[in-house]
Amino acid sequence: MHPNEWQQWLETTCKENGWQHEHSPMIWRELINRGGKGMLLGGFSDFLEHVQAYYGITSDMTTELMMKIATESLLTRELCMKEKVYHQSLIKPLHIWISSALNPICYILIPQLFAPGIFRDAPTISLHLLDAVWKPPHKHLAFINDHIHFFTQLFY
């Protein structure tokens, strides 16, 4: 997880589980096979105490080594994020716009658009569905504007 995402993730996770924790890392234990709520262990030193008490395992990892691993993890995460942005920039979707998308013929048309071989040169299809629906009780038009991406293949 990137440090810019940490605070929001921490607040959300603590709120969902009813925990109080403010520092990185946050470590908890879950009994997956038995179900139930996770149990907050705390930070790194709390985790080491738990592992030693529960499993009898100790660690001689130095703070310097932990910081080196954290720095390497951050650099790797940032590199992965840059690669993801680059690969997404390579995708040029074919945009298909359908007006009156609630017309019954569209229930037949839309699946046919995605039949194999129809758009061979388009790795991604972006489908835009537009329609206007008359709402008698309120006597106004409600516009439907859905945007759907179909990834037929990511890379050649």
Q: What is the pLDDT of residues 13-29, one digit of tens each?
A: 899 888 998 888 888 88
Question: Do the beta carbons of residue 131 and residue 144 sit within 8 Å?
Answer: yes
Single-letter amino acid, residue 91: I
At 94, the pLDDT band (50, 70, 90 cuts) reads confident
Question: Do the beta carbons of residue 131 and residue 101 sit within 8 Å?
Answer: yes
Of 18, 13, 19, 15, the residue nearest 1 (C-alpha)? 13
Q: Please tell me whether the peptide bond between 25 and the residue prior to it is cis, using omega within 30 degrees of 0.
A: yes
Burial class (CB in 10 A: 0-12, 13-18, 19+), 36: exposed
Report the C-alpha gap between 124 and 10 in whole angstroms.
35
Indicate the average pLDDT of the chain. 80
Give the helix/strand (H/E) hosting 68: helix 63-90
pLDDT attached to residue 76:
94
pLDDT attached to residue 60:
86
At 12, the pLDDT band (50, 70, 90 cuts) reads very high
Q: Which phi and psi (to 5°) does residue 112 adopt?
A: -70, -30
pTM over 0.85: no
Q: Report the relative pairing of strands 124-135 and 94-98 from DSSP bridges.
A: parallel
The radius of gyration computed from the CA coordinates of the chain, to the nearest angstrom, equals 25
Of 74, 70, 21, the residue nearest 47 (C-alpha)? 21
